[in-house]
Amino acid sequence: MDIRSQIAMVFHLDKCIGCHTCSIACKNIWTDRKGAEYMWWNNVETKPGTGYPGKWEDQDIYKGGWEKKGNSISLKGAGKFKGMKNLFHNPSMPVIDDYYEPWTYQYENLFEAEEGDDQPIARPVSLITGEHITPKSGPNWDDDLAGSEEYAKNDVNFKNVTPAEQEAMFQLERMTFHYLPRMCNHCLNPACVAACPSGAIYKRGEDGVVLINQKKCRAWRMCVTACPYKKSYYNWNTGKSEKCVLCYPRLEAGQAPACHHSCVGRIRYIGVMLYDADKIEAAAASNDEDLIKNQLDIYVDPNDPKIIAAARENGIHDSTIECAQKSPVYKFVKEWGLALPLHPEFRTLPNLFYVPPLLPTMAFVDESGTYETTTDSFWGAIEKSRLPMSYMASLFSAGNEEVIKNILKKLMAVRLHRRAETVGDLPENESKDAMRDVVMDKETADAIFRLTSLPLFDQRFVIPPAHREEAMEMLESTADVKGNTGFGFKEQPVRGL
Amino acid sequence: MSNYFFFIGLPYVAIVILLVGSLFRYLNFGFKVSSLSSQFLEGKELFYGSRPFHWGIIFLFFGHLVAFLFPRSVIVWNSIPLRLLILEVVAFGFGISALFGLGMLIVRRINNKRLWMVTTKMDVFVYVMLLTQIISGLWVAYFARWGSAWFPTVMTPYLKSLFLLDPDITAVAALPLSVKIHIVSAFTLIGMIPFTRFMHFLVYPFRYFYRPYQYVIWNWDRKKIRSSRKLVNGVRSKNN
Ligand code: SF4
Ligand code: SF4
């Protein structure tokens, strides 16, 4: 047993309103620079849709993530042999056009144009070449199913959805969508780290944040290919790769990352998970159907005295253990079993979990073509959902529909329970039956309801308190400079060469 | 006089600049050491340029190195004319491959507005130097035949004398102009390594082949510090 601590996240998709505030908060802080304009460390996609960069989930194109080889795993498109032989030209790396060519507008023209007969306009200019361009695609070009013929219909997750189901889905009356906010998952088995030839990418032992050392990156670009979520980006200007840093300066100060802090729908939860690092290898190499179960097994119970002892043994601070016990992520993922990793079949063991959305599945169109919203059908069976289960299963459970159905039933049971409590217009036993079906007691249902709908700020974000002294120690060892302050040595005061 | 400058002065200056300059840049400007890949801005034409160029130049580099380090083996190999012919044809092939690749790379850069944005004066210099080097090399291979036969007896002793700090340029001074150009441009190129993107081949990631795939760094490893016997257990964090 090798207990470590990891900052993990839960996104409750039913609550996401697709406002992109998270992406903007991130952009303003981190990527509003030359060479980084096209990067969205945090982005929000409409599903169904092809996402950003286009078709990122299609690993036949991009060769990201790991694949199972016998009892072990190997990187799909990178690594000591596969990657290094492509060092001079990497055939599966996305290029700028797979994202979009960033642009801005010539706003100054609005003020400085010479007097004339026409209104001055602000023409779009490329942020790479500085020439006039006509933007033909961009991030969220397919927001809210815009251009669904071109985007939604090409969603990679439709490969297991029958053509008949697809046809039915795209009838105007039935069409539905949900949002999928994405960011780096700070994986337990990060493909980007494994693919980096220079050893520039590493996982921080203390909190599991995955970072790129800008001084060591040599632009071999392997991480861009290897990350199956396409969350490592190449800065064409500096010749270095960059990725989400989970706002580590904020984390170290005990604050939530900016995307979490600014989330309007309050869909984001962040907290500590204790895990057993010895189990990573086996879990990453499990069979498709066991992937989720084995990944969740890595995370251990922070209330178990044996675990606590092992955590202390590994130098995990008491306050971190305490946070792990109060972690909203632990509740959603382990206690309640409501959240799943995105595309577990990529085998990077991501630490961002999603509560699958219930809303698009509810309310359906009946045979006569009317949109059913009566309470009766409002609680209609999940089987009749507008989004086929196979679609959701392709996103969150490597094709296992039962797992998804089970979670949706739980979410439904909580709703029925609350409806019975607050409005009381449901036939007796309906909520009780639903709860019995998913083995949930009243207290749990209320707890889920409270953490979902009425959570306080510090219930959503439970980050170990600001150990300012240790934040300092992350930069340099205080013992090194103890007693030196008076002289203000910047270098170590050692004699000779 | 100019022979002394080009075949004694220049080589020593170039090698000193290479050693001091690369180390200085690596240690002080680590951020600026990068292969500066431009595949992200243009990924299709690069394939036809970068691959033939790199494989060609790598083979030629090691070819020259082998002839310098093991001159006798090369002479023995060449004792059978057919083997000499094979060696020369293969080497010439790699030379053509490097030239073709370089040509493609130059055309690609000129034709692509996006690439202009990431092209520096030093990149242009690199292209000119490489062109001179490869063309003069091919010229020598074709007109001053057979290179692999006379290199071990002419060039190897000269280079060896340089390394032994007892330069002897009598043989080199008598070589045809094309060979001289090839030598001079080679040493210029070596001297310019620290100032150009050539730096990237010095940081080829050999370590990757024997390190484990995953990499975890503890900035402040309490476990290690607790078990340390040192009284003052300051361990500087590894990423700093
Ligand atoms: S999501 Fe991608 S970039 Fe982030 S840790 Fe995982 S593999 Fe690396
Ligand atoms: S800020 Fe929150 S609600 Fe808005 S798009 Fe981002 S995740 Fe969704």
Residue A497 contacts by C-beta under 8 Å, 6 or more apart in sequence?
A: none
Side-chain half-sphere exposure of B224, counting CA atoms within 13 A: 12
Q: SS3 of A466, please?
A: coil
pLDDT at A360: 62
From the CB of A203, is ligand 1 less than 6 Å away?
Answer: no
Residue to mutate among A61, A236, A318, A478, with most B CBs inside 10 A, is A236
Chain A residue numbers with beta carbons less than 8 Å from the beta carbon of B209 are 80, 84
Omega of the bond prior to A53 within 30 degrees of 0, cis?
Answer: yes
From the CB of A21, is ligand 2 less than 6 Å away?
Answer: yes
Confidence of residue A480 (pLDDT cuts 50, 70, 90): low
List helix spans (H) across A299-400: 305-313, 318-325, 328-330, 375-378, 389-396
Q: What is the mean pLDDT of residues A112-141?
A: 92
Atom 2 (ligand 1) nearest CA: A227
pLDDT at A386: 75
Q: Is A379's pLDDT higher than 60? A: no
Q: What is the mean pLDDT of residues A466-492?
A: 62
Contact assignment for B30 to A216 by CB distance below 8 Å: yes
Chain A residue numbers with beta carbons less than 8 Å from the beta carbon of B239 are 202, 211, 213
d(CA A451, CA A318): 24
Q: What is the CATH number of domain A265-460?
A: 3.30.70
Q: Is A129's pLDDT higher than 60? A: yes
pLDDT at A148: 79
List helix spans (H) across A152-220: 163-169, 191-195
Pairing of strands B216-217, A43-47: unpaired
Domain ranges (residues) in chain A: 265-460
Contact assignment for A218 to B240 by CB distance below 8 Å: no
**B212 to chain A: nearest residue by CA?**
A194
Pairing of strands A3-12, A268-276: antiparallel
DSSP assignment of A237-264 equals TTTEEEE--TTHHHHHTT---HHHHH-S
Q: Which amino acid is at B201?
A: F
Residue A246 contacts by C-beta under 8 Å, 6 or more apart in sequence?
A: A7, A184, A186, A209, A257
Distance A291 CA to ligand 1 centre (A): 18
Distance A446 CA to ligand 2 centre (A): 24
Q: Tokens at residue B71, please? A: 């001159």
pLDDT at B240: 40
Are A389 and A405 contacting, i.e. CB atoms less than 8 angstroms apart? yes
Contact assignment for A203 to B38 by CB distance below 8 Å: no
Which ligand is in closest contact with the Cα of A203?
1
From the CB of A191, is ligand 1 less than 6 Å away?
Answer: yes
From the CB of A16, is ligand 2 less than 6 Å away?
Answer: yes
pLDDT at A474: 63
- Distance from the A205 Cα atom to the nearest Cα atom in chain B, whole angstroms: 5
d(CA B169, CA B152): 15
From the CB of A472, is ligand 2 less than 6 Å away?
Answer: no
Are B91 and B83 contacting, i.e. CB atoms less than 8 angstroms apart? no
pLDDT at A139: 87
Q: Is A374's pLDDT higher than 60? A: no
- Distance from the B141 Cα atom to the nearest Cα atom in chain A, whole angstroms: 26
pLDDT at B150: 87
Q: Is A476's pLDDT higher than 70? A: no
From the CB of A76, is ligand 1 less than 6 Å away?
Answer: no
pLDDT at B239: 46
Contact assignment for A88 to B51 by CB distance below 8 Å: yes
ipTM of the complex: 0.89
Q: What is the mean pLDDT of residues A379-384?
A: 64
Atom 4 (ligand 1) nearest CA: A184
User: Considering only CA atoms, which of B16, B216, B49, B230 is closest in space to residue B127?
Assistant: B49
- Residues of chain B whose pLDDT is less than 70? 1, 220-240
Are B140 and B178 contacting, i.e. CB atoms less than 8 angstroms apart? yes
Residue A64 contacts by C-beta under 8 Å, 6 or more apart in sequence?
A: A56, A76, A77, A191, A225, A226, A227, A228, A229, A230, A346
From the CB of A327, is ligand 1 less than 6 Å away?
Answer: no
Class in CATH terms, B2-214: mainly alpha
**B26 to chain A: nearest residue by CA?**
A215
List helix spans (H) across A91-217: 96-99, 108-112, 163-169, 191-195
- Tens of pLDDT, residues A108-119: 999 999 988 999
Dmax over CA atoms of chain B, in Å, equals 71
* Closest CB from B53, B116, B220 relative to A473: B220
Contact assignment for A214 to B31 by CB distance below 8 Å: yes
DSSP state of A219: S
Chain A residue numbers with beta carbons less than 8 Å from the beta carbon of B226 are 315
Residue B210 contacts by C-beta under 8 Å, 6 or more apart in sequence?
A: none
Pairing of strands A232-235, A103-105: unpaired
- Distance from the B49 Cα atom to the nearest Cα atom in chain A, whole angstroms: 9
**A5 to chain B: nearest residue by CA?**
B218
Residue B209 contacts by C-beta under 8 Å, 6 or more apart in sequence?
A: A80, A84
Distance A22 CA to ligand 2 centre (A): 6
From the CB of A346, is ligand 1 less than 6 Å away?
Answer: no
Mean pLDDT of chain A: 89
Are A6 and A279 contacting, i.e. CB atoms less than 8 angstroms apart? no
Q: Is A4's pLDDT higher than 60? A: yes
* Closest CB from A197, A217, A240 relative to B208: A197
Q: What is the mean pLDDT of residues A190-216?
A: 94
Q: Which has the higher per-residue pLDDT, A79 or A466? A: A79
d(CA A263, CA A14): 14
- Tens of pLDDT, residues A249-263: 899 888 999 999 999
Cα separation values, A122 from A111, A112, B207, Å: 10, 11, 51
Q: Which residue's entry shows tokens 């079949």?
A: A345
On the 0-12 / 13-18 / 19+ scale of CB atoms within 10 A, A491 is exposed
**B38 to chain A: nearest residue by CA?**
A236
* Closest CB from A79, A130, A240 relative to B34: A240
Q: Which has the higher per-residue pLDDT, B225 or A213? A: A213
Q: Is A486's pLDDT higher than 80? A: no
- Distance from the A41 Cα atom to the nearest Cα atom in chain B, whole angstroms: 17
pLDDT at B228: 62
d(CA B78, CA B84): 5
- Counting residues of chain A whose pLDDT is more than 90, the rounded percentage is 67
The verdict on B208 touching A (C-beta cutoff 8 Å) is yes
pLDDT at B225: 64
pLDDT at B79: 87
DSSP state of A335: I
* Closest CB from A236, A240, A476 relative to B41: A236
Chain B residue numbers with beta carbons less than 8 Å from the beta carbon of A201 are 215
Residue A446 contacts by C-beta under 8 Å, 6 or more apart in sequence?
A: A417
The verdict on B120 touching A (C-beta cutoff 8 Å) is no
pLDDT at A473: 64
Chain B residue numbers with beta carbons less than 8 Å from the beta carbon of A84 are 208-209
From the CB of A63, is ligand 1 less than 6 Å away?
Answer: no
Contact assignment for B114 to A128 by CB distance below 8 Å: yes
Are A93 and B43 contacting, i.e. CB atoms less than 8 angstroms apart? yes
CB pairs under 8 A between A and B: 152
From the CB of A261, is ligand 2 less than 6 Å away?
Answer: no
